[in-house]
């Protein structure tokens, strides 16, 4: 199977859907003339024209509002934020308009649209450009939140998101746009709300999503050298959360570690922990452990960035604690 970059997988998803449906358009900063801040939309202006690939001013609240209005009138916008940190400027349109319109109008107006762009730490970008808001948006009824971890998932999940009919928050790791993976040339779509058992195991279940999956895979290799066989679950979407797949895994492994690039308070890992202790408590042989970022704004110094983020050593330590091999 061919290997393509994460950004290319996203581009293919948008191109294929836009060729099949002329109601879909892409809007955001630098998406057209500059081919995208991360070159995700490279070549799209030439193919689809300036009415369907639209450059905007630096005004996230404004172009998010335009997109919401367009969606209410039957178009399907794909809104690209240069970073989801900048989505905070537009959060009123996302939370109070897109997420609520279907409910508030009893289904008379829908917001069939996708908000997408990079999320999380990407090195020394400072505290205002290195944040994860998956749990913020997942807290909002009316939104679905998707976080792919590889090019295959990125394409299949984005195609599903564009077709879904609801407002979707689609978050991509800024550090993974050049990451390569196998992606088939034939048509495929990945169901939203269904987690993927990326590796089967017997001793512990490790749950994660997005960029942190790369850290998890490295930790699993280190754990195998110490005789610990981990099962790995990639959530793919964090709203809706696939609790059933997690609990089925815990029935086998009896232990759970959750890895998340986010602050610990009211995180996705907090919600998973609650749901598991409510619906799967009898299967646990050890307390649930989670590995998150430190509970501070991200520092700029590279040594402090490393200390802030989850890493292999922290994941291995958590797994060994729940398997009583520390």
CATH code for the domain in which residue 159 is found = 3.40.50.970
Residues 6+ apart with CB under 8 A from 323: 203, 204, 228, 255, 286
Whether residue 70 lies inside any domain: the answer is yes
Task: Round to whole Å and give the CA distance between 39 and 21.
Answer: 22
Would residue 60 show up in a list of annotated catalytic residues for this protein? Answer: yes
Do 131 and 45 sit in the same domain of this protein?
yes
Do 305 and 278 sit in the same domain of this protein?
yes
Q: Which two tokens stand for residue 12?
A: 């293919």
Do 128 and 163 sit in the same domain of this protein?
yes
User: Are 158 and 10 spatial neighbours (Cβ–Cβ below 8 Å)?
Assistant: yes
Whether residue 87 lies inside any domain: the answer is yes
Catalytic residue among 60, 134, 172, 231: 60
Do 172 and 27 sit in the same domain of this protein?
yes
What is the rounded average pLDDT of the residues 258-281? Answer: 96
Choosing from 127, 157, 182, the residue where a domain stops is 182
Domain range for 117: 3-182
Q: Render pLDDT for 151-182 as a digit per residue (tens, 0 to 9).
A: 999 999 999 999 999 999 999 999 999 999 99
Do 204 and 290 sit in the same domain of this protein?
yes
What percentage of the chain carries pLDDT values higher than 90?
95
pLDDT, residue 325, reads 83
Do 146 and 208 sit in the same domain of this protein?
no
User: Are 269 and 290 spatial neighbours (Cβ–Cβ below 8 Å)?
Assistant: yes
Catalytic residue among 17, 29, 80, 129: 129
Phi then psi for residue 203, to 5 deg, are -95, -30
Q: Render pLDDT for 214-248 as a digit per residue (tens, 0 to 9).
A: 999 999 999 999 999 999 999 999 999 999 999 99
Do 110 and 77 sit in the same domain of this protein?
yes
Whether residue 323 is predicted with pLDDT greater than 90 in this model: the reply is: yes
Q: How far apart are the first and last CA of the chain?
A: 41
User: Are 66 and 93 spatial neighbours (Cβ–Cβ below 8 Å)?
Assistant: no
pLDDT, residue 253, reads 98
Q: What is the pTM of this model?
A: 0.96
At residue 222, the 3 state secondary structure works out as helix
Would residue 200 show up in a list of annotated catalytic residues for this protein? Answer: no
Whether residue 326 is predicted with pLDDT greater than 80 in this model: the reply is: no
Q: What is the CATH number of the domain that holds 294?
A: 3.40.50.920
Q: Render pLDDT for 179-209 as a digit per residue (tens, 0 to 9).
A: 999 999 999 999 999 999 999 999 999 999 9
pLDDT, residue 125, reads 86
Do 168 and 210 sit in the same domain of this protein?
no
Q: How many domains does the chain have?
A: 2
Choosing from 147, 182, 217, the residue where a domain stops is 182
Do 132 and 16 sit in the same domain of this protein?
yes
Whether residue 120 is predicted with pLDDT greater than 80 in this model: the reply is: yes
What is the rounded average pLDDT of the residues 72-78? Answer: 98
pLDDT, residue 89, reads 96
């Amino acid at each position: 199977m061919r290997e393509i970059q994460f950004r290319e997988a996203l581009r293919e998803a948008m191109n294929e859907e836009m060729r099949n449906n002329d109601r879909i358009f892409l809007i955001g900063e630098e998406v057209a003339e500059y081919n995208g801040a991360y070159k995700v939309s490279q070549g799209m202006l030439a193919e689809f024209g300036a009415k369907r690939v639209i450059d905007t001013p630096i005004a996230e609240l404004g172009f998010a509002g335009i997109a919401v209005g367009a969606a209410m009138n039957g178009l399907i916008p794909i809104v690209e934020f240069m970073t989801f940190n900048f989505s905070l400027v537009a959060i009123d349109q996302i939370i109070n308009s897109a997420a609520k319109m279907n409910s508030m109008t009893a289904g008379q107006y829908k917001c069939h649209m996708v908000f997408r762009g990079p999320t999380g730490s990407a090195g020394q970008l400072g505290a205002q450009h290195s944040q994860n808001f998956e749990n913020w948006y997942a807290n909002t009824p009316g939104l679905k939140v998707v976080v792919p971890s590889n090019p295959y998932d990125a394409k299949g999940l984005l195609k599903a998101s564009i077709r879904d009919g609801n407002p979707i928050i689609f978050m991509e790791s800024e550090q993974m746009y050049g990451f390569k993976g196998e992606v088939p040339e034939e048509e495929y779509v990945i169901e939203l709300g269904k987690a993927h058992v990326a590796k089967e195991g017997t001793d512990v279940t490790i749950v994660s999503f997005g960029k942190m999956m790369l850290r998890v895979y490295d930790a699993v290799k280190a754990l195998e050298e110490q005789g610990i066989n981990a099962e790995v679950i990639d959530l793919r979407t964090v709203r809706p959360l696939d609790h059933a797949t997690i609990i089925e895994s815990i029935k086998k492994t009896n232990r759970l570690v959750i890895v998340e690039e986010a602050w610990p308070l009211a995180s996705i890992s907090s919600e998973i922990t609650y749901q598991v202790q409510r619906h799967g408590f009898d299967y646990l042989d050890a307390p649930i452990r989670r590995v998150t970022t430190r509970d501070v704004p991200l520092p700029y110094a590279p040594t402090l960035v490393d200390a802030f983020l989850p890493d292999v050593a922290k994941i291995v330590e958590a797994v060994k604690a729940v398997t009583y091999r520390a």
